Chains A and B, each alone.
Chain A
Amino acid sequence: MSGYVEGILVILLLNVIFAYAVYWPLAAGQLNLGVAGFVGIGAYVSAYASNEFGIPPYIACVGAGFVAFALALVIAVPVLRTKGIYLALATFAFGQVLQSLFLNLEIVGGAAGYPVISYIGVGGIAVCTAAVFLITAFLDRTRFGLNMVAVHDDEAVSDLFGINVRAYQALAFALGAGFAGFGGALYGHHFSYIEPQNYSILFSISIVLFVLLGGTQTVVGPLVGAAFFTLLPEVLRGSEEWRYAIFAVCIIVIMIPRPQGLITSDQLSALRQFLVRDRLREERHG
């Protein structure tokens, strides 16, 4: 594999993890604009743990994911009291707080950045991305996923049917943060260097954008969105200075006919019905 292809592949894999970090809160109806902060938490925790205490990188990454998860659970209590645009603002503010914390923490290099010694290659990242996707896809097929859709669509009715709405929202938020931290940790171990500038609001927004482009109704939406956002600029590389303009036009052209995102649940269920119809007919007559 050439260095160029490998570089793109790693970014793609990490973007898929980040996409699921944003997908879970969105699945419960929350826009998390502070996701970059949780990515940073994961990156710094894992880097520090492996640098200072010699913890093996994979264990450090998973541990960093759990730290981000736990932090998000704590943060969820006050933050999830806000709704809609105010929730987005609160998470945005929290992301900014974290970024300035990284900037001022001299113990991990402050503004100068922090080198990460132990290395994780593309293969390891691929396995981790697959794990994040499988966990998400599995949870989506359980009652947990079912109830999450219910909470997203109608909080009042979900509550009457015995669903603990606040707990589900907090779990979705924390699960996303956990994935963000895990992905951030992998990033650090692959690129061997992390710095506070990486975890800005722009980073959060671009992840949210590609998840919205892919669609939040199904588990495959974020995957498609991440792939699209990572690969299209590369495909357009031929037309140097115009490529981001063309890229932006492509996004707008897609969003016009598909405001719900590229992949919707109607689409998938139509496909599923198309695939199982023959089988059902056989069962009925056989």
Chain B
Amino acid sequence: MADQPILSLDCVSKSFGGLNVIKNLSFDVRCGQRTALIGPNGAGKSTVFNLISGVFPVNSGRISVNGNDITNVPSRKRMKLGVSRSFQNIRLVQHLSVLENVLVGQTPRVTSLGDILYPIRMTSGSHWQCEAMEVLERAGLAAFARDHVGNLPYGVQKQIEIARALLGGADILLLDEPAAGLNPQETEDLSTRLHQIADSGTTIVVVEHDMQFVGAFCEYVVVLNFGEMIAEGTPQEVRRDPHVIEAYLGSDVA
């Protein structure tokens, strides 16, 4: 089943109190397709990520990953089923080193008691550490491995979040505004790095405001406004869509 979507939302709705944040949202992400979720502020993009990763339960609808219905799977078990993510505001463990933060990312694959009680912070050279160092090296972060996360520049911390998210072994990587707050050079590095990750078989979904980045990096775009999908297609198609122009610039322009 080659064209089965890797991630699929089917009529998903979510409300907080009387506020309907997501209304009847359906879209598919195909395997390997670099996808962006865009929309004006408050459109519900981050909420969609929170629903997929299980931070909030949905009110109705279905979310499936690799053909498995994960709608009622607790958030703790979703990474094992294939969904990993980064956060809009950096959420690294400030009291741990870079390497240790990345080791935490491996947790979904750690199952035996022996691995939990192995003195991983005292030794080096276990396959867990080698794997974590490899990911750090590929991201150009190896030099920071022993540093405390809290003291590192913003751009570096964002990279660490991606490295950590990768190590859970998930097929889908949800990145919440990966380019926000980065300078042009850092954005370019990020793009290169994400291409590497995508080429190695991980499906990337981003929420992003940087349209230049979206246009350059993504193959497919889903546009949200007030919790509803107003357009989907390639970046070129979406850019010409009158609903999208209206949502971003107001109805007089369209």
Binding site for B on A (CB under 8 A): 138-147, 149-150, 152-154, 156-165, 217, 265-266, 269, 272-273
A–B Cβ pairs within 8 angstroms, 21 of them: A139-B117, A140-B121, A141-B121, A142-B118, A143-B103, A143-B115, A143-B118, A150-B104, A157-B93, A159-B75, A159-B76, A160-B55, A160-B78, A160-B79, A160-B85, A162-B76, A162-B77, A164-B76, A165-B76, A269-B97, A269-B148
The stretch that binds A, out of B61-69, B105-113, B205-213, B231-239, is: B105-113
Q: Is the CB of B53 within 8 A of A161?
A: no
Q: Is the CB of A145 within 8 A of B121?
A: yes
Q: Is the CB of A147 within 8 A of B104?
A: yes
Chain A positions within 8 Å of B115 at CB level: 143
Which residue of A138, A153, A161, A269 is within 8 Å of B107 (Cβ)? A161
Q: Is the interface of A mostly helix, strand, loop or mixed?
A: helix
In the assembled complex, B193 has its CB within 8 A of some CB on chain A: no
Binding site for A on B (CB under 8 A): 53-55, 75-80, 85, 87, 91, 93-97, 100, 103-105, 107-108, 110, 115-122, 146, 148, 164, 168
Q: Is the CB of A217 within 8 A of B120?
A: no
Q: Is the CB of A146 within 8 A of B79?
A: no
Chain B positions within 8 Å of A266 at CB level: 148
Query: What is the bound-complex CA distance between A138 and B118, given in angstroms?
Result: 9
The answer to whether residues A142 and B107 also contact, given A160-B55, A161-B168 and a CB cut-off of 8 A, is: no
Distance to closest chain A CB from B142 (angstroms):
12
Chain B positions within 8 Å of A273 at CB level: 146
Chain A positions within 8 Å of B110 at CB level: 143
Q: Is the CB of A146 within 8 A of B104?
A: yes
Query: What is the bound-complex CA distance between A152 and B104, given in angstroms?
Result: 13
Chain B positions within 8 Å of A165 at CB level: 76
Q: Is the CB of B93 within 8 A of A162?
A: no
Distance to closest chain A CB from B88 (angstroms):
12
Q: Is the CB of B119 within 8 A of A154?
A: no
The answer to whether residues A160 and B119 also contact, given A149-B95, A153-B95, A265-B95 and a CB cut-off of 8 A, is: no
Q: Is the CB of B120 within 8 A of A142?
A: yes
Q: Is the CB of A142 within 8 A of B91?
A: no
Q: Is the CB of B108 within 8 A of A162?
A: yes
Distance to closest chain B CB from A166 (angstroms):
10
Instruction: Name which of B80, B103, B116 has the most chain A CB atoms within 10 A of its CB.
Output: B116
Chain A positions within 8 Å of B104 at CB level: 146-147, 150, 158, 161, 163
Query: What is the bound-complex CA distance between A146 and B94, given in angstroms?
Result: 12
Given contacts A141-B119, A144-B117, A150-B96, 16 further A-B contacts (CB under 8 A): A139-B117, A140-B121, A143-B118, A143-B120, A147-B107, A150-B93, A152-B95, A153-B93, A158-B104, A160-B53, A161-B164, A162-B79, A162-B168, A269-B146, A269-B148, A273-B146
Query: What is the bound-complex CA distance between A152 and B97, given in angstroms?
Result: 15
Q: Is the CB of B95 within 8 A of A161?
A: no
Distance to closest chain A CB from B70 (angstroms):
13
Query: What is the bound-complex CA distance between A143 and B102, given in angstroms?
Result: 12
Which residue of B53, B96, B103, B107 is within 8 Å of A163 (Cβ)? B107
Query: What is the bound-complex CA distance between A265 and B151, given in angstroms?
Result: 13
Query: What is the bound-complex CA distance between A150 and B164, given in angstroms?
Result: 13
Closest A residue to B150 using CB positions: A266
Distance to closest chain B CB from A189 (angstroms):
30
Chain A positions within 8 Å of B120 at CB level: 141-143, 146
Q: Is the CB of A146 within 8 A of B55?
A: no
Instruction: Name which of A145, A156, A157, A165 has the most chain B CB atoms within 10 A of its CB.
Output: A157
Query: What is the bound-complex CA distance between A116 and B105, given in angstroms?
Result: 50
Q: Is the CB of B95 within 8 A of A217?
A: yes
Distance to closest chain B CB from A220 (angstroms):
14
Query: What is the bound-complex CA distance between A272 and B147, given in angstroms?
Result: 11
Chain A positions within 8 Å of B54 at CB level: 160
Closest B residue to A151 using CB positions: B93
